[in-house]
Amino acid sequence: MSVEARLTRDASEPEDAAIFSAFTLTATFWLLLATAVGLLLSFKFPYPDLATSPFLSFGRLRAIHTNDTFYGWASIALVGTAIYVAARTSGVAIVGKRLAWLSLLCFNVAAVAGTIALDLGFNDGDQEYREWLLPIKLIFLLAVALAGTTIVRTVAARADREIYISNWYTIGAFICTLILSLVAVVPWYQIGLGQVAVQGFFMHNAVGMWFTLLALGVTYYALPKTLNRPIYSYALGVLGFWTNLIFYPIIGAHHFEFSPLPWWFQTLAIVFSVGMLVPVWSGSANFFLTMRGHWETIRRSYSLPFIVVGVAYYFLGSTQGTVEAFRSLQTIWHFTNYTIGHSHATMYGFITFIAWGVIYALLPRATGKQPNALFTGLHFWLATIGVTFYVLSLSVAGTLQGMTWAQGDPFIASVDAAAPYWAGRAVAGTLMFLGHIVFAYNVWLMTLGGSREGGNYETTVRKAVAP
Amino acid sequence: MNRGMNNVWALVAAITLIYGTLAIAMGTIPGIVLSNTPPTPGKLPYSEAAQRGRAIYVSEGCEYCHTQNVRPLKQDAVFGRASVAGDYAYDTPELLGDHRNGPDLTNIGNRQSSAVWQYIHLYDPRAVVHDSIMPQYPWLFEVKTKADPGDITVALPPGFAPHGGVVVATQGAQDLVRYLSELKQVPLGKAATP
């Protein structure tokens, strides 16, 4: 594609911008709802009698918090960016815009129906991160299939001969998620311990193949685009892709160590959990080496600080995951809040921060509307301090729980040991939630509100040629 | 190095083949094999009432704070013998759980066999365990001016009972307590000590 053609291409189609905006707006609604619920849950630890009601009880809200965060906020936000990135990297407008709109509708219908059903107590078996009833799950999977079709068709219609690495990751995310969901939704081989094996497989692959691949994929576009230089190593990206694809499905059993799952099955999961260092370290290194020598640009950018923290938490959170898989550490950390610290280091520190960074990087380009600089900084620091404090609080709480059990103290002693850190977590959660409100205002500025200002320093970067 | 991979359909096919095989190998096949695990000798299915109680345990999300999985570790011995595969033959949906904000319940039927205690604890956990962070479940109970014959009244200690009323267990509370009472580990044969 000639340089001129690419430059004119830079001003994206109005409807592409509308699709990207709509995905981001609805995702932000779910972020606010899901984390408001999360905040209430965190206050129920120090104040167990708070909001005693069947519709606000911990047991029902916990599933709402996880499912709305996974399938409301993170899925819709990342799919919106993935569709936009597919169009931009292929040098074409989104192909099949109707499917993209239909996909957005299905995502939101599933999230609304799922939330109401869970609040009424209709839970599909307390299987973590797949508690929605079967028909609601199928609506969600339809949304995934529609969005996946949109991306594959857009990439197939690309101008260049080469498929940019972002689209490997995002296409991989859609295909693997449809496969893993089919495996997880079939009931006849999920009886008793059989369901335990499938639950381990599902829980880990949902995060590993859906969120991780989508987040890494869109970062492979947003990072070089904002830094105005190509990715450090294309080959490292391909290595990360295939090793992630091969190792992840094998390690689900590390969620059930010391359970009656076959011992060798658990050992296999532990060995490949160590193997996960290959995609994690190659991916993180690839991004950090791309950033090397450009810290000045990062310091002055809206989006890059979020991507830096996102990649840092990808590296820390996933390496933490590998370490957690060893049996010696499982004896202390399994069943404790240490795992909750890990899940927030990854789903929040990595996945959510990358989604924010990519949205701040690409949405202003699509709509021509800038976020408020002061609020972006406020959002960044509230969320960064919040999640770091959150992860530290629960890592300490979890270690104390595990050690208290190991010493043979009465069970209630582990509750007392963790209690002060649960209060700390509620404070951290408040910071995080305040950051989300600021982010929501910025999203409004970048889409519906705000004014279409003239050039600013970010648009001068825009004239650069995408890799 | 990636000449072949520039065809989007080749990429789609490669991912589907590789990941599909691994998903079947690590998800479907373990599911099929382990779903046929025979029950531990002597293990009986749950009674009707207990099954209704288990459904309440699921819909109220008790699994998010309570595990049902005694590990072959020193620190788990307080909860019972190590769980074995056959213990879960009648447990669908599985409730092994991932979090012990509350104690493990695999063997709670033996460890806390008093239904009176269970009713009080469900109504207000802090009536029996001062530092407990478990939520109250008043919606599983009714407050009546006077208990009818055949009602199960909850013997709440002073200060925890609502003013001028008697707390009575609903059918839901009775089913749940029945389920908890049936969470009992079957002792293993002489040979297989934990």
Under 8 Å between Cβ of A359 and A394? no
Return the closest-CA partner of residue A320 out of A350, A295, A290, A293: A350
Give the per-residue pLDDT at A252.
93
ipTM of the complex: 0.93
- Chain B residue whose CA is closest to A167: B8
Q: How confident is the model at residue B5 (pLDDT cuts 50, 70, 90)?
A: low
Q: Do B96 and A196 touch (CB under 8 A)?
A: yes
> What value does the mean pLDDT of chain A take?
93
Chain B partners of A172 at a C-beta cutoff of 8 Å? 15, 19
Cα distance between residue A43 and residue A40, in whole Å: 5
* DSSP label at residue A345: I
Identify the H or E element spanning A23.
helix A14-44
Nearest to B36 by CA among A266, A195, A203, A253: A195
The better pLDDT of the pair A195, A302 is held by A195
Question: pLDDT tens for residues B33-59?
Answer: 999 999 999 999 999 999 999 999 999
Give A215-244 pLDDT, tens digit per residue: 999 999 999 999 999 999 999 999 999 999
How large is the average pLDDT for residues A343-364?
97
Mean pLDDT of the A331-338 span? 97
Q: Find the CB nearest B100 among A60, A121, A335.
A: A335
The owner of tokens 């925890």 is: B160
Model pLDDT, residue A458: 45
Helix H or strand E encompassing B41:
none
* Residue A233: other Cβ atoms inside 10 A: 15
Q: Backbone phi, then psi, for A32, in 5-degree steps?
A: -65, -45
Residue A451 — pLDDT band, cuts 50, 70, 90? confident
Q: Record the pTM.
A: 0.94
Q: How confident is the model at residue B131 (pLDDT cuts 50, 70, 90)?
A: very high
**pLDDT at residue A462 tops 50:** no
- For residue A453, what pLDDT is reported? 60
Q: What is the pLDDT of residue B80?
A: 96
Q: What is the pLDDT of residues B138-192, one digit of tens each?
A: 999 999 999 999 999 999 998 898 888 899 999 999 999 999 999 999 999 865 5
Pick the range with the lowest mean pLDDT from A90-94, A346-350, A427-431. A90-94
Residue located via tokens 């408001």 = A36
pLDDT of res. B190: 65
Residues A257-267, mean pLDDT to the nearest whole number = 97
CA distance A417 to A403: 10
What pLDDT score was predicted for residue B37? 96
pLDDT greater than 70 at residue A142: yes
Total number of residues shown for chain B: 194
Q: Do B6 and A163 touch (CB under 8 A)?
A: yes
User: Which conformational region is residue A438 in: left (phi greater than 0), alpha (psi within -120 to 50 degrees), or beta?
Assistant: alpha
Predicted pLDDT at A209: 96
**Dihedral sign of CA atoms A398, A401, A402, A404 in order:** positive
Phi, psi of B153, rounded to the nearest 5 degrees = -90, 150
Range A264-290 average pLDDT: 97
Query: How open is the CA angle A391-A57-B171, to the nearest 5 degrees?
Result: 140
What does the pLDDT read at residue A389? Answer: 98
The DSSP annotation for A261-282 comes to S-HHHHHHHHHHHHHTHHHHHH
What is the spatial distance between Cα A356 and Cα A35, in angstroms, rounded to a whole number?
15
Closest by Cα among A444, A441, A446 to A369: A446
Cα–Cα distance between B87 and A261 in angstroms, integer? Answer: 12
> Is the four-CA dihedral B7, B9, B14, B19 of positive or negative sign?
positive
- Element containing residue B125 per DSSP (H, E): none
State the residue for tokens 């207990």: B50
Q: Cβ contact (<8 Å) for A192 and B91? A: yes
Q: Read off the tokens for A46.
A: 């120090």
Task: Give the model's pLDDT for residue A10.
Answer: 53
Determine the Cα–Cα distance for residues B121 and A189; give it in Å rounded to an integer: 36
Q: Considering only CA atoms, which of A210, A133, A208 is closest in space to residue A170?
A: A210
The residue that leads in pLDDT, A7 or B80, is B80
Residues 108-137 of A with CB under 8 A from B: 121-128
Mean pLDDT, residues A295-318: 95
In tens, the pLDDT along A21-77 reads 999 999 999 999 999 999 999 999 999 999 999 999 999 999 999 999 999 999 999
- Residue A346 above 60 pLDDT? yes
CA distance A364 to chain B (A): 29
Q: Is there a contact between A231 and A220 (Cβ–Cβ < 8 Å)?
A: yes
% of chain A surpassing 70 pLDDT: 94
Distance from C-alpha of A149 to C-alpha of B56, rounded to nearest angstrom: 40
pLDDT, tens only, B97-129? 999 999 999 999 999 999 999 999 999 999 999
Peptide bond into B93 cis (omega under 30): yes
Q: What is the pLDDT of residue A366?
A: 95
Interchain pair B100, A249: CB under 8 A: no
Count CA atoms closer than 13 A to A209's CA, side-chain side: 33
Set of chain A residues whose Cβ sits within 8 Å of the Cβ of B65: 58
Contact B78 A337 (CB under 8 A): no
For range A307-331, the mean pLDDT = 97
Chain A from 349 to 388: CB within 8 A of any B CB: none
pLDDT for B189: 80
- Contacts with A63 from chain B: Cβ below 8 Å: 61, 64
- Could you read off the pLDDT of A395-441 as tens digits, one per residue? 999 999 999 999 999 999 999 999 999 999 999 999 999 999 999 99
Which candidate in A41, A92, A193, A245 is best for mutational testing of the B interface (most B CBs within 10 A)?
A193
Kindly tell me if the per-residue pLDDT of B6 is higher than 80. no
SS3 A388: helix
Predicted confidence at residue A463, as pLDDT, reads 46
Decide if A130 contacts A83 (C-beta within 8 A). no
- Partner-chain residue, chosen from B18, B30, B78, that has the shortest CB–CB distance to A265: B30
**Region A178-205 average pLDDT:** 96
Q: Which helix (H) or strand (E) holds B167?
A: strand B166-169
Alpha carbon A108 to its chain's center: 17
In terms of Cα–Cα distance, which of A22, A428, A196 is closest to B92?
A: A196
- Which residue, A80, A214, A95, A76, is CA-closest to A152? A95
Answer left, alpha or beta for residue A192, where phi above 0 means left and psi between -120 and 50 means alpha.
left
Average pLDDT over residues A171-196: 96
